[in-house]
Amino acid sequence: MKLLLIGPPGVGKGTQANFLIEKYNIPQISTGDMLRENIRNETSLGDEAKKYMDAGKLVPDEVILNMINDRLNKHDCNNGYILDGFPRTIPQAKGLDILLGKLKQNLDSIVVMKISDSLIIKRLSNRRSCKECNKVYNLIFDPPTISNKCNDCSGNLYMRDDDNPKTIQNRLNVYHEQTEPVIDFYHNKKITKEINADGSIMEIKNNILNSLSK
Ligand code: AMP
């Protein structure tokens, strides 16, 4: 199963990808997570990406496409993968087409997660992530049992640098201007499924699984 999740920042792509990893036994490829790992490891790629990420801007297409090229060529991608947060621009979508052609692969499904901007702002400003295992919480919709501690590993929770109000608005603007055209780009492939992402984690999970079974 080769799957692409498209939706605005904070719509729950990462959370839903975790369910799909288990169901299909395939890796999640999140360009955002890969960039954050580079920042944590203080690589030169991480240094360059941080400037864009802190401003809520997109990292240049060439950097992202090189990163994805390396990742899709790894063995664990042979049976499929979930692309999360990529492609985010038309040049990235075209670059992915070329890469898939070289790998003799096709995408099976593209899930577009729909939600209002106002709900995104509410979700992102209350998002917290575990420093140790990356598990994501929401202080309103899915709070940890003990304040600021991860339920799974007791790691400390933190707020992402780019989840402040000004950067959230920039990221939403970037989504509407640069990523929504990607949805149109894929429409003629007839594998796009639009789902309602305004609901509980379990409701959204069911919406996705239902759409994939059709
Ligand atoms: P995310 O975790 O997917 O919300 O991504 C966080 C930030 O990483 C974004 O706001 C961008 O600055 C950067 N980023 C992640 N994926 C991409 C991508 N495919 N293209 C460009 N920038 C990206």
- Say how far apart CA 193 and CA 57 lie, in whole Å: 27
| From 2, 13, 135, 205, active-site residue | 13
- Say how far apart CA 213 and CA 140 lie, in whole Å: 31
Structure tokens at 171: 């990221």
Conformation bin of residue 66: beta by default, left when phi > 0, alpha when psi is -120 to 50: alpha
Q: Is 67 in the pocket of ligand 1 (CB under 6 A)?
A: no
User: Is 128 annotated in the active site?
Assistant: no
What number of other Cβ atoms are within 10 A of residue 34's Cβ?
A: 19
Q: Of all atoms in ligand 1, which is nearest to the CA of residue 33?
A: 2
| From 36, 50, 127, 128, active-site residue | 127
Q: What is the pLDDT of residues 108-123, one digit of tens each?
A: 999 999 999 999 999 9
**pLDDT beyond 90 at 38:** yes
| pTM tops 0.95, yes or no | no
> Environment class of residue 44 by beta-carbon count within 10 Å: exposed (0-12), middle (13-18) or buried (19+)?
exposed
Q: What is the pLDDT of residues 67-103, one digit of tens each?
A: 999 999 999 999 999 999 999 999 999 999 999 999 9
Confidence of residue 190 (pLDDT cuts 50, 70, 90): confident
- Sort strands 81-84 and 136-138 into parallel, antiparallel or unpaired: unpaired
> Environment class of residue 101 by beta-carbon count within 10 Å: exposed (0-12), middle (13-18) or buried (19+)?
exposed
Q: Which domains does the chain have, with CATH numbers?
A: 2-26+79-115+176-212 (3.40.50.300)
**pLDDT beyond 90 at 191:** yes
Q: Is 6 in the pocket of ligand 1 (CB under 6 A)?
A: no
- Say how far apart CA 179 and CA 42 lie, in whole Å: 28
- Say how far apart CA 38 and CA 42 lie, in whole Å: 6
